[in-house]
Structure 1
Amino acid sequence: MNKLPWIDVIKGFGMICVVIGHIYDGDISRTMFIFHMPLFFFISGYLLKPNKNFKEYLVKKTKHLIIPYASFLIPLYFAFRGFPEFKISGILSFIKSPLLGGRMLSGSLGVFWFVTCLFLTQQLMNYIIIKFNIKISIIMVFLMLALSYINSIFFPYFWLPWNANVVFAAAPIFYIGFLCKEFNIKLNTILVFVIGVIIIIGSYYIKNNTYDMKYAMYGIPGLTFISSVFLIFVIIAISKIISRLHFLKNFFSEIGKASMVIMYLHQPIQLSLRNNFGLSRVVLLVISITISYLIYLFFLRFILTRAIFLGSSLDMKKIRIANLFSK
């Protein structure tokens, strides 16, 4: 259980923003994209507990992120792609996308890029924070930010498996999150809200002030990065207010606890419903979050599902053939 009550709240609030960004388009979507994925890199940095045992940290995060990633990806990939031709060329073509991940996964699987990118970012930043002092770490992070802009501006079609190239853009945001916790950085709430409003209004006029991290589209160099960070601070301030309101706190906290399941499932659900039933966006938003949350509750009931879909290390240790579906 998180010691900070607003952490699950901000995950819930942020995940709702992710779903809104995928269901809506135009200015609403662009505004969500400024901060919604950067927010989760920031939170991950904020929650980082540096581990000097790199192998242990790698194993821990593999269990927590990569096993659920594969557990969701494999059945969904078969569901939407069908089965390959039983020829070498057909099989190789079929497995190419899930193995490379990142930009190769689109449509209902489009959000999966985030998990592998987050995993790589965590490994890299844990190593840097352990091995280097803060001055060297800041220099390295600035260099990564510069490389991300080179990728975005001069080589926009260049990408690496698992979206490893996006790590250069994610790491600076991750590191800011870490520093905010490490030095207990706090900003004036009123000032943050004022700047946030200015950024949102300005973004309606400056259309390219937005992020699409998956495709290495980082907006206006410097400005969009700063816009993203300030809007993250706005969301933190809102989440802290919500965490003092019992009903809203419980609602957003529950969504936050289910945030990874919602992330994996909201696109398959909402795209299937949109393509087959033509439902309104509000209805798609409510249904995709609700169904994903109910599936999360189902996964909580069993050792096996908690282990492979929720990444529970404790349940992975408990798994035995005789009690796979024990409560």
Structure 2
Amino acid sequence: MERRIEFIDILKGLGIVLMVLGHLHLSNTLNRFIYAFHMPLFFIISGYLYRRPACLKNYSLKKVKVLMSPYLLWGCVYSVIAAILTPHFFISFWKSIVAVFFKGTYDLPVESALWFLPAMLWTSLFYALIDKTIYSNNKKVFVLILLTLLGCSWTNYIPFRLPLALDSALSAIGFYFIGHCVKEHKKVLELPERDLTAFMLVTVFIIIDGVLILKNNTLNIRAGIWGYIPLSYFNATIYTWIFYRIAVLIDRKLNFVKRTFLFIGYNSIIYLCINHLVLKMVMKVIKGKFFPLENYSYAIESLLIFICSILIMCLFVPVFTKTRFRFMFGK
């Protein structure tokens, strides 16, 4: 059990690193690749960790505390920051609060990935409700597919978004279901014991699915942008499996990086909430007069921003885990 949890934390750590890279906007091609699976990965992991709750009420209250407390607190923090950065404090603050509740944190100058928290809340609550109240597996699958299609199609046909990322949650509930199915049939995660065969199989999947990702339209769960829905689900699932295999490799053979990814994965909610804020501050410093990087390439500049941002976020983790600021993350 402990070993499996370490795999999960390493996988979450990899997902966080991909999220930060995606927020750097290095290139459209790289972003299309990262966005194709990095957020679905977290929904699949959560589905894998799902256990049918004994009491739906207690389960719901716990989820609200863990997910909505940091969302509301950090939403207020970013609303204040947004108001300070604009001339009209109260008007900007009000618009930012509206954005937090109704626009999935759009219109905030520092958005982070806060939208994921209410989306995960809705997804986990809907899934638990369906699992507890519908006893027929066929009916469960039908309802889950229906909700997924509703969420994925929402922005194509409806001129407004649902509050608190509800439409994003509906579109992602299928990923949650996939994670739960994988837990029930764990053998699908395994590969042949021979390392060469496993390596060749993973390589084939990386190439084939990489091409399919680039052929499909960009996936952005938060914005409600989907390509061909079945292909988007297929791509995200395959690359989550590929990164699971990378997590297994790190756990077994790369101890020098294992602790880093375990640390990031275990504290993933902190990185999720503060990454955009830290990135923007680091960009201001590195791209400003303090570091004159005119003679350096864009790649070196981006690498420096990425490394500095990750290090600063790692330094912030103890502030939010070992002090009174724990309350900002529902603890």
Q: Same fold (TM over 0.5)?
A: yes
| Equivalent runs, 1:1-327 vs 2, <5 Å | 2=2, 4=4, 5-23=6-24, 24-82=26-84, 92-93=94-95, 95-133=97-135, 134-155=137-158, 157-187=159-189, 189=191, 190=198, 191-204=201-214, 206=215, 208=217, 210-245=218-253, 246-278=255-287, 280-302=301-323, 304-306=324-326, 308-312=327-331
**Aligned position for 1:324:** none
Aligned equivalents of 1:25 and 1:106: distance in 2?
23
Contact 2:168 2:222 in 1 (8 A): yes
Question: Which consecutive unaligned segments of at least 5 residues does structure 2 have?
Answer: 192-197, 288-292, 294-300
* Aligned-pair CA distance for 1:47: 0.8
Q: Which amino acid aligns with 1:174?
A: Y
Q: Which amino acid aligns with 2:148?
A: L
> Taking structure 2 as the reference length, what is the TM-score of the superposition?
0.84
Q: Which amino acid aligns with 1:195?
A: F
* Aligned-pair CA distance for 1:98: 2.6
Q: Structure 1 residues 242, 86: CA separation in 2 closer, same or farther (over 3 Å shift)?
A: closer
Aligned equivalents of 1:54 and 1:99: distance in 2?
25
**Aligned position for 1:323:** none
Aligned equivalents of 2:108 and 2:283: distance in 1?
16
Deviates more, 1:225-234 or 1:96-105: 96-105
Q: Deviations over 1:133-191 (max 9, x none)?
A: 32211111111222134324334x43111110112211000011011112324245444
State the secondary structure of the residue aligned to 1:215. Answer: coil
* Aligned-pair CA distance for 1:33: 0.2
Deviates more, 1:144-153 or 1:236-245: 144-153
Q: Structure 1 residues 95, 152: CA separation in 2 closer, same or farther (over 3 Å shift)?
A: closer
Aligned-residue CA RMSD (Å): 2.4
* Aligned-pair CA distance for 1:73: 2.3
Q: Deviations over 1:281-300 (max 9, x none)?
A: 11111122211121112222
Q: Structure 1 residues 260, 92: CA separation in 2 closer, same or farther (over 3 Å shift)?
A: closer
> Taking structure 1 as the reference length, what is the TM-score of the superposition?
0.85
**Aligned position for 1:321:** none
Contact 1:61 1:119 in 2 (8 A): yes
Q: Which amino acid aligns with 1:111?
A: A
Aligned equivalents of 1:234 and 1:194: distance in 2?
11
Question: Which consecutive unaligned segments of at least 5 residues does structure 1 have?
Answer: 313-327
